[in-house]
């Protein structure tokens, strides 16, 4: 039994709240540990994760990350100083900026992504393929139907 499991008398006794909160803590620990290896905070990992498949404007980023405008500006400024992202003039609004990953940003995205995938696969190694599919379906349903989530 792992030290994580040792903290519970019986894992089957967890409620839905406890189960999801404890799972969230486990995932956040993985993200924090991997982030620390790359000198990234969890919010910086989230920023880079968003940039994998889009080049959002600052307002879109703020909404997606649940941050105010000044916080998102600081977050993007810090990532830009590290050479991980760049601002480009928005084609839709010449006064606004979109944010995209640089080559260095893409390298970090790939490295961190591979490490996260490896860690999550280790955590879920005890699940059967059917249980994995069920976990994906249930987590997706929660994310899609949860109030206040940005999609």
| CA distances in angstroms from 136 to 3, 20, 133, 143, 144, listed in the order given | 25, 14, 5, 10, 12
Q: What are 86-124's pLDDT values in tens digits?
A: 999 988 888 889 999 999 999 999 999 999 999 999 999
pTM, rounded to two decimals: 0.82
* Tens-digit pLDDT profile for residues 25-45: 999 999 999 999 999 999 999
Instruction: Let me know how many helices (H) and strands (E) the chain has, helices first.
Output: 7, 2
Question: Around Cβ 31, how many Cβ atoms within 10 Å?
Answer: 21
- Considering the four listed CATH numbers 1.10.10.10, 3.40.50.360, 3.90.1150.10, 1.20.1050.10, the one that applies to the domain covering 15-145 is 1.10.10.10
Burial environment of residue 130 by CB neighbours within 10 A (0 to 12, 13 to 18, 19 or more): exposed
Query: How many other C-beta atoms can be found within 10 angstroms of the C-beta atom of residue 113?
Result: 15
């Amino acid at each position: 039994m792992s030290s994580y499991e040792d903290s519970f008398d019986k894992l089957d006794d967890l409620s839905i709240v406890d189960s999801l909160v404890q799972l969230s803590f486990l995932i956040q620990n993985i993200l924090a540990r991997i982030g620390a290896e790359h000198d990234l905070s969890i919010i910086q990992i989230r920023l880079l994760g968003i940039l994998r498949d889009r080049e959002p404007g600052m307002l879109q980023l703020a909404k997606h990350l649940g941050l105010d405008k000044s916080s998102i500006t600081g977050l993007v400024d810090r990532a830009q100083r590290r050479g991980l992202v760049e601002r480009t003039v928005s084609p839709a609004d010449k006064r606004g900026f979109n944010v995209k990953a640089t080559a260095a940003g893409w390298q970090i995205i790939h490295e961190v992504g591979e490490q996260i995938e490896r860690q999550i696969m280790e955590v879920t190694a005890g699940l059967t393929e059917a249980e994995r599919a069920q976990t994906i379906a249930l987590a997706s349903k929660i994310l899609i139907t949860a109030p206040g989530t940005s999609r």
